[in-house]
Amino acid sequence: TSNSTKNSPPSPPKLPIIGNLHQLGSSRSPPHLALQALSQVHGPLMLLHFGSVPVLVVSSAEGAQAIMKTHDLNFCSRPKSTVFAKLLYNSNDVATAPYGEYWRQVKSICVLNLLNTKRVRSYCGVREEETKAMIKQIRDSKGVVNLRDMLMTLTNDVVSRVALGKSYYSDGGFKELSVDHTELLGSLYIGDYIPWLGWLSRVTGLDAKLDKVAKRFDDFLDVVIQEHMDNTDQKEEDQKDFIDVLLEIQKENSLGFRIDRVSIKGVVLDMFLAGTDTTATLLEWAMSEIIKHPSVMSKLQNEVRGVNKAEEDILTEDDLIDMPYLKAVIKETLRLHPPLTLLLPRISTQDVKINGYDIKANTQVIVNAWHIARDPKSYDYKPEEFEPERFLNANSGISYKGNDFELIPFGAGRRFCPGVQFATAVNEIALANLVHKFNWTLPGGVRGEDLDMTESSGLTVHKDDPLKVVAIPYSSV
């Protein structure tokens, strides 16, 4: 079936039954690259079909603005997905809940109670301690370091302590569970696009895997919540973790609506899914780019090493306030390597006209944020190159807070990421200390400029090969 009209956006030719699914890339060419290539032929607004589902692909800053600002209300719901439903409490979380009263309530809890400026600041001690632990671990490991592993441990330990009260990452299989969960989130559930092929997910074992991982995570969260309920110790406001805050909201019914246990688990699960892999991936890309660009490395080291510290002391968050180059390096990494290259999918709720094209209700929308940030129309100066200076000069006015559509790694509009401050705080302290405490080389005498930057497929786009490095301790005093 097709719901194209004569006024629909341009579409590449499609095959019977699968539509354009075969054009979505391969392990060698992830979807954001395949969609970029298609949009260069068919334009910045194009209509694809994934099986029977119409999908609008947006590849320009103007198009993104039309979707996430001008018509945000029409496009701020999420499509139904069996994978999300199975893994995320039937989408009773924040990130995948359809637009409506439930989403408004849980999103407001995230924005106002869990991820507000004051609470994010209150976790400064956790970030500093975990960064210090990472630096020590790197210093203690002789030889080649798998930096991806170190960064995944850092972000999971931070989120785990903040959300659950203590670090579970390295305990009893939680790491494997978390990795399986994140990987499964990116799986293609063919029955969502070609309903009569739904049985394939049973035969391939995908259904069973989803159910098993969801159950294990649910059992784990039940235990942690019960421990919190059994613990009657009074905690100071700045000692509370997310489960403490959520249980308090539930008990006091203070927001004028009830949240139940499923909602608490859904919200907490989102913090792991949205806040660990994304941040670790961003940091791995940042380190890869600066190792590849020695001049950026030395400028950044000059800036952060302006603060003297004894070997055992790390740079604290107070030390980072006046570090414009550090912030420009992070912004440039978010530009070239947005961890969620295609953001999270949206769906239209009503028929609407965009740039003269008719977009029907129930059209899914993918915004290629990766492509937009490399588009010469967005950045006229060497858009494909890693040049943090652009954000100190010509493009200094551009921010990633959802108002400048040429840089939308955290999305925009009603669905904007509520974790941006949390992520920025982790990114800054981790990166500053990594370059402050060590000089970096690649193993086997490989030159920085030869580092392979091939991208992986998946919901979060990593460097395909984990970054392996040799860290040479540096002391500024």
Binding site for ligand HEM (CB under 6 A): 94-95, 107, 110, 270-271, 274-275, 278-279, 282, 338-340, 343-344, 409-412, 415-419, 422-423
Q: Where are the beta strands (DSSP E) in 433-477?
A: 438-441, 468-473
Task: State the minimum distance, in angstroms, from the CB of residue 94 to ligand HEM.
Answer: 4
- The number of beta carbons lying within 10 Å of the beta carbon of residue 447 is 11
DSSP classification of residue 385: S
Q: How many whole angstroms separate alpha carbon 393 and alpha carbon 328?
A: 10
Task: Please check if 417 is assigned to a binding site.
Answer: yes
Q: How many whole angstroms separate alpha carbon 170 and alpha carbon 133?
A: 13
CB nearer ligand HEM, residue 18 or residue 243:
243
CB nearer ligand HEM, residue 174 or residue 242:
242
Sequence-separated (6 or more) residues with CB below 8 Å from residue 118:
none
CB nearer ligand HEM, residue 159 or residue 206:
159
CB nearer ligand HEM, residue 72 or residue 129:
72
Q: Is there a contact between 85 and 91 (Cβ–Cβ < 8 Å)?
A: yes
Write phi, then psi, for 472 (nearest 5 degrees). -105, 115
Query: Which helix (DSSP H) or strand (DSSP E) does residue 181 occupy?
Result: helix 174-185
CB nearer ligand HEM, residue 9 or residue 409:
409
Q: Is there a contact between 317 and 425 (Cβ–Cβ < 8 Å)?
A: yes
Task: State the minimum distance, in angstroms, from the CB of residue 165 to ligand HEM.
Answer: 15
Q: How many whole angstroms separate alpha carbon 176 and alpha carbon 212?
A: 13
Task: State the minimum distance, in angstroms, from the CB of residue 435 to ligand HEM.
Answer: 18
CB nearer ligand HEM, residue 18 or residue 461:
461
Task: State the minimum distance, in angstroms, from the CB of residue 185 to ligand HEM.
Answer: 13
Task: State the minimum distance, in angstroms, from the CB of residue 239 to ligand HEM.
Answer: 18
Task: State the minimum distance, in angstroms, from the CB of residue 315 to ligand HEM.
Answer: 20
Task: State the minimum distance, in angstroms, from the CB of residue 35 to ligand HEM.
Answer: 16
CB nearer ligand HEM, residue 220 or residue 272:
272
Q: Is there a contact between 368 and 39 (Cβ–Cβ < 8 Å)?
A: yes
Cα–Cα nearest to 76, from 60, 56, 54, 100: 100
Q: How many whole angstroms separate alpha carbon 333 and alpha carbon 440?
A: 18
Q: How far is CA 298 from the centre of its chain?
A: 28
The rounded radius of gyration (Å) of the Cα atoms in the chain is: 22
Query: Which helix (DSSP H) or strand (DSSP E) does residue 276 occupy?
Result: none
Residues belonging to the binding site for heme are 417
Residues marked as binding?
A: 417
